[in-house]
Each structure stands twice: as structure tokens, then as C-alpha cells.
């Protein structure tokens, strides 16, 4: 099983959506995703949960967590930071075989349509990136 860690700051929207999308789409290929935040909010954004549920990608195992909480899963084959570089500082993770950045705009505070849009963008871009980096 190859392991992917998806990091952002709050671990309430983008990284959890990324974790869910990778697990939904790539688990059959032996890839498992985890997510964490450098300053986790402590909750999953309700619209993030709703968009994951509507795309049959939600699991009650998903929650907002610290990097320390996912360390028990290390080493990771790939770490992906998903913060929007223009607005946020992405966390670094030293225990990765490979680390890449793929920034997504934070939908937090926006309407549900923004979450649908970011889900589609994450699904389109993240799956291809993970496949490329882990092949």
C-alpha cells in the first residue's frame, strides 16, 4: 500500500476533500490517503462534508487533525501541500519520500457552489498528480 499525505493549514476543506477523493478513486490501486493541517480547525467544514456525501466520497473516519496525529502512518510515499501559495503558508513535512505542491483556492466562507467547484478541480488535478508521482 502506498501512502499519500495531503496537507494544508486548517484541514477542514481542501485537504479533507483531497483525502476523500484519492481514497475513493485510487484505493483499488493500492493507494491510501491521509490529511492533516499545520493549524487544524478541529472540524470538517459542513459544506465540505456535504459535497463529499453528494459524491459518495464521505467516511465518518474523516476529521480535522494535526500533523502529529498522522505521524503514526509514516513514512509517506508522497506528501502534497494544497494551500493557495498566494494567501497562505503551506506546512512542510520532513518524513516524506517526495513532496509536491498543488495549490487550490480555499472555499471556506463561500457558498456551496464553491465547494462543488473545488471538488471537481481537486478530483481532476489531484488524481492525475498522484498517479504520475507514484507510478
The pLDDT value recorded for residue 87 is 53
3-class SS at 78? Answer: strand
Rounded average pLDDT per 10-residue block, the chain, 135 residues: 94 97 97 95 97 98 95 93 70 79 94 98 97 94
* Helical ranges in 27-111 per DSSP H: 46-54, 67-70
Query: Please, which residues bridge with residue 69 across strands?
Result: none
What is the distance between the alpha carbons of residues 116 and 33, in angstroms, rounded to a whole number?
20
pTM confidence score: 0.94
Residue 10 structural domain? 2-134
Q: Is 90 a catalytic residue?
A: yes
Q: Is 8 a catalytic residue?
A: yes
- Note whether 40 and 67 are within 8 A (CB): no
What is the distance between the alpha carbons of residues 44 and 135, in angstroms, rounded to a whole number?
31
Q: How far is CA 27 from the centre of its chain?
A: 14
The pLDDT value recorded for residue 100 is 93
User: How is residue 37 written as a grid cell?
Assistant: 493541517
Q: Which is the catalytic residue, given 8, 21, 26, 96?
A: 8
Please tell me the total count of domains within the chain: 1
Q: Which is the catalytic residue, given 33, 90, 96, 126?
A: 90
Q: What is the CATH number of the domain that holds 90?
A: 3.40.50.2300
Q: Which is the catalytic residue, given 20, 83, 102, 118?
A: 83
Q: Is 13 a catalytic residue?
A: no
Amino acid at each position: 500500500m502506498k501512502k499519500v499525505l495531503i496537507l494544508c493549514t486548517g484541514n477542514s476543506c481542501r485537504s479533507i476533500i483531497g483525502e476523500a477523493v484519492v481514497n475513493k478513486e485510487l484505493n483499488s490501486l493500492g493507494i491510501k490517503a491521509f490529511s492533516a493541517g499545520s493549524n487544524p480547525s478541529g472540524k470538517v467544514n459542513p459544506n465540505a462534508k456535504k459535497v463529499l456525501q453528494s459524491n459518495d466520497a464521505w467516511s465518518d473516519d474523516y476529521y480535522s487533525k494535526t500533523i502529529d496525529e498522522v505521524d503514526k502512518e509514516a513514512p509517506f510515499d508522497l506528501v502534497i501541500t494544497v494551500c493557495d501559495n498566494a494567501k497562505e503558508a503551506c506546512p512542510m513535512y520532513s518524513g516524506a519520500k517526495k513532496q509536491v505542491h498543488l495549490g487550490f483556492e480555499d472555499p471556506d466562507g463561500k457558498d456551496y457552489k464553491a465547494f462543488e467547484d473545488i471538488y471537481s478541480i481537486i478530483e481532476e488535478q489531484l488524481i492525475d498528480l498522484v498517479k504520475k508521482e507514484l507510478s
